[in-house]
Structure 1
Amino acid sequence: MTTAKQAKLAALCLLLVPGVAACESSSAQSEAHPPAVVEEVPGSDVKTVQLTDDAAAAAGIATAPVSAARVASELTMPYAAVIYYLDGTTWTYRLESKNTFRRVPIKVKSISGQVATLTAGPPVGSQVVVVGAPEVLGAELEISGEQ
């Protein structure tokens, strides 16, 4: 793992999600059966993350849909799906197919209780990760949890 990835993990763990599984040590995974397959998205610095069934279950992955807001150009989604990245940008993980996720940028207009109103984000009906996003981010950054 690169020093930059280690620094990102440290900041993520300390600032955003202390105590989650992606930030704690875990039992060693067999190299023959990694818990996630990470692939580049052409023309982007974002990757797709495909978790095994066991890894998705261990992370407790749960999704919820993006909805239309009262204002036609806005969206809503559970606040739990909002990821604050280290550089201050906001993201969410969209379900692409079974246990396969892609981090997509969002623009948060406001937060009211457990609902985030967005001015930009995934289309209405998209499923976004509301439980387990830190683990998916850890997999995307190729953080094994054993650092």
Structure 2
Amino acid sequence: MNDRRPTGLLVLCLLLAPGVAACEASAAAPEADPPAVVQEVPGSDVKTVRLSDDAADAVGIETATVGRAAAPGKLRIPYAAVLYYLDGSTWAYRVEEKNTFRRVPIRVESISGDVATLTAGPPVGSTVVVVGATEVLGAELEISGEQ
């Protein structure tokens, strides 16, 4: 576990014994990174969501690679990566970089077992979120888990 308390500051505070009470607040552990940072994508109504390492681990993010379907021009992704939005549109979260995700529109042609065949979506070779996509959506929409 990474203990990020400023021990040097604590030692300095102890050496200045009369001012120990004043030092306690500044010697406290720094605030942890927020679990999610949501940023606007210029010219779009979707946002990028960056999860902290701890949040990504807690959610259990798992990903898969977008593949080419047997039919020309079609894509394949795990059905678990498909998100249905409030208006019925379908989306998936593409991995932009480590723990950073962007919701992209997809068009589902068919579902067979645990595989969705798409007529539109992220390019072959892209990485999409399979486990944890609903939690990423909740972070994007700024929905607290306590509601």
- Bin the TM-score by the shorter chain: 0.7 to 0.9
Equivalent residue for 2:65?
Answer: 65
**Alpha-carbon shift at residue 143 of structure 1 (Å):** 1.4
CA distance in 2 between counterparts of 1:48 and 1:31 reads: 23
User: Quick one: distance in 1 between partners of 2:69 and 2:134?
Assistant: 26
* Letter of the 2:111 counterpart: I
Q: Matched residue of 1:70: which SS? A: coil
Aligned to 2:7: none
Q: Find the residue that maps to 1:138 and give its secondary structure.
A: helix
Query: TM-score normalized by structure 2?
Result: 0.77
> Larger radius of gyration, structure 1 or 2?
2
Where does 1:35-74 land on structure 2 (aligned, <5 Å)?
A: 35-74=35-74
How many angstroms apart in 2 are the aligned matches of 1:119 and 1:31?
A: 45
Structure 1 consecutive aligned stretches of length 4 or more whose deviation exceeds 3 Å = none
Give, in angstroms, the shift of residue 71 of structure 1: 1.4
Measure the CA separation in 2 of the matches of 1:31 and 1:86.
35
Distance 1:60 1:34 in 2: 17
Residue aligned with 1:57, SS? helix
1:21 equivalent in structure 2 = none
Tell me the equivalent position of 2:98.
98
2:83 is equivalent to residue 83 of structure 1: yes
Displacement of 1:144 after TM fit?
Answer: 2.1
TM-superposition CA deviations, 1:120-144 (whole Å, max 9, x none): 0000011100000111001000112
Seq. identity, %: 76
Does 1 or 2 have the higher relative contact order (CA < 8 Å, sep 6+)?
1
- Secondary structure of the residue that 1:72 maps to in structure 2? coil
CA–CA distance in structure 1, aligned partners of residues 64 and 32 of structure 2? 32
| Count of residues paired in the alignment | 118
Which residue type is aligned with residue 96 of structure 1? E
State the match for 2:146 in structure 1. Answer: 146
Q: CA RMSD in A?
A: 1.4
Question: What is the CA deviation profile of residues 93-128 of structure 1, one whole-angstrom value per residue up to 9, with x for unaligned ones?
Answer: 000000000000000000000000000000001110
Output the TM-score relative to the length of structure 1.
0.77
